[in-house]
């Protein structure tokens, strides 16, 4: 499998350009003999694929690749027709909401069959697929994981979730949560805890396990939702923290995630006056995404917005997120309207065509490396349970007394 260090190294070499650096290896250090050639081959092939697809896409087709609407996991005829319509219009991916395994399989098969470009299929799985699919294996919420759990168990947990996901055709996990928990805040049970080091260790082990199974992980909610006193689904929290406090606490897990070469980061609908004095939601803020995440922290992977249908987005359009530096727009309230908004921004020069191409090229390279669309037909809960499922469930829930 190509993920974790390998995929990050590709982007270190590529810098989202057509220049192939044959001196990169999967460790980020000069390689010797055969590995050097293999990385050069992968880089060349991924870039060639992305550029060939880009040449075939018109501007609307490129914009469609940035959009990932949310869909209820329901296989009724109306839902299937809607999914088919998304695929035929060139939409780049979908996010599965609540439902069951059989419906998920029908939706994924339909979307994959009718998509001209291999799609992203994402799901919130902060504590496994059971978070969204009621008949999938259940794992404890992050706050209830055994206090003495080790990183190997967390890696195995992430790999387990990846194996289950790939059987269904899911190739992107919207998790882990990297937010540092604090008192009187919304993130609560979704966080791994109050200690930045523990959160970093557990979350990165889980994400590494996910990516070892050839599934993209997406860390959230940058630059940190932990100190928010409210729910960004309902309004936009303002986090009045200093840059020093953010750097030493909230950003620490994200910096570890980035240094480990992992793939995706979701930006929250949170205002950070210390970073962006204008007070824009982070997912729509150039100082947060381009200046801090891309330039200062050196992140080269996929940047996703949190769901744009949340009240924390303040009703601002997807074009603002793309202008700020986001690659992927999650869950817009009106998919076609947001495509039109981005198209207008391109026409009037607010988004340059070459910047749009950079976003799409990054997406296409990840899709090439995922080898999306290859999965087995799975129709029951028992069929996605692996030999390791029960062991990992027990290990995560076991409360040690020492």
- Cα-based distances in Å from 181 to 184, 187, 228, 232, 314: 9, 7, 9, 15, 24
51 given a catalytic annotation: no
Beta strands (DSSP E) in 114-261 are 120-123, 172-173, 216-222
126: three-class secondary structure by DSSP: strand
Nearest CA to 152 out of 201, 213, 211 is that of 201
Of the residues 109, 156, 163, 306, which is catalytic?
Answer: 306
DSSP H or E stretch at residue 73 = strand 70-73
Separation CA 111–CA 101 (nearest Å): 15
Pairing of strands 67-68, 70-73: unpaired
Say which of 233, 247, 334, 388 is annotated catalytic. Answer: 233
Backbone angles phi, psi at 90, to 5 degrees: 90, 10
User: By CB neighbour count within 10 A (0-12 exposed, 13-18 middle, 19+ buried), where does 210 fall?
Assistant: buried
Two tokens at 232? 């960004």
Q: Is the distance from CB of 172 to CB of 216 less than 8 angstroms? A: yes
- 398 catalytic per annotation: no
Residue 318 has φ and ψ, to the nearest 5°, of -60, -30
DSSP 5-54: HHHHHHHHHHTTSS---TT--TTSS---SHHHHHHHHHHHHHHHHHHHHH
Tokens 């005829």 sit at which residue? 77
Edge-first strand listing for the sheet containing 216-222:
70-73, 93-99, 120-123, 172-173, 216-222, 264-267, 302-305
Q: Which residues are tagged catalytic?
A: 233, 306
């Amino acid at each position: 499998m190509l993920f974790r260090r390998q995929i990050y190294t590709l982007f270190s070499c590529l810098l989202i350009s057509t220049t192939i650096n044959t001196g990169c290896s999967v460790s980020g250090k000069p390689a010797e003999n055969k590995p050097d050639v293999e990385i050069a081959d992968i880089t060349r092939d991924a870039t060639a694929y992305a550029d060939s697809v880009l040449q075939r896409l018109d501007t609307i087709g490129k914009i469609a690749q940035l959009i990932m609407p949310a869909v209820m996991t329901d296989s009724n005829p109306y839902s299937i027709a809607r999914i088919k319509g998304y695929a035929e219009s060139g939409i780049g991916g979908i996010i599965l909401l609540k439902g069951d395994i059989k419906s998920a399989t029908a939706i994924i098969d339909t979307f994959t069959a009718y998509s001209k470009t291999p799609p992203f299929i994402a799901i919130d799985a902060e504590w496994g697929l059971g978070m969204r699919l009621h008949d999938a294996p259940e794992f404890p919420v992050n706050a209830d994981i055994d206090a003495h759990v080790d990183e190997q168990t967390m890696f195995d947990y992430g790999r387990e979730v990846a194996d289950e996901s790939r059987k269904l055709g899911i190739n992107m996990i919207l998790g882990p949560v990297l937010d540092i928990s604090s008192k009187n805040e919304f993130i609560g049970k979704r966080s791994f805890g109050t200690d930045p080091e523990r959160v970093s260790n557990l979350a990165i082990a889980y994400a590494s396990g996910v990516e070892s199974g050839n599934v993209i992980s997406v860390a959230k909610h940058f630059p940190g939702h932990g100190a928010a006193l409210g729910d960004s689904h309902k309004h936009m929290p303002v986090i009045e923290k200093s840059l020093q406090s953010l750097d030493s606490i909230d950003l620490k897990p994200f910096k570890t995630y980035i240094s480990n070469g992992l793939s995706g980061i979701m930006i929250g609908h949170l205002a950070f006056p210390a970073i962006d004095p204008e007070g824009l939601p982070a997912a729509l803020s150039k100082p947060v995404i381009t200046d801090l995440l891309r330039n200062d922290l050196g992140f080269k992977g996929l940047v996703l917005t949190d769901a744009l249908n949340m009240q924390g987005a303040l009703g601002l359009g997807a074009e603002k997120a793309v202008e700020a530096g986001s690659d992927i727009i999650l869950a817009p309230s009106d998919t076609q309207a947001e495509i039109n908004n981005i198209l207008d921004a391109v026409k009037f020069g607010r988004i340059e065509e070459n910047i749009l191409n950079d976003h799409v090229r990054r997406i296409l390279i990840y899709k090439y490396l995922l080898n999306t669309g290859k999965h087995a037909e799975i129709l029951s809960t028992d069929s996605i349970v692996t030999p390791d499922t029960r062991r990992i469930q027990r290990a995560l829930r076991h409360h040690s007394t020492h």
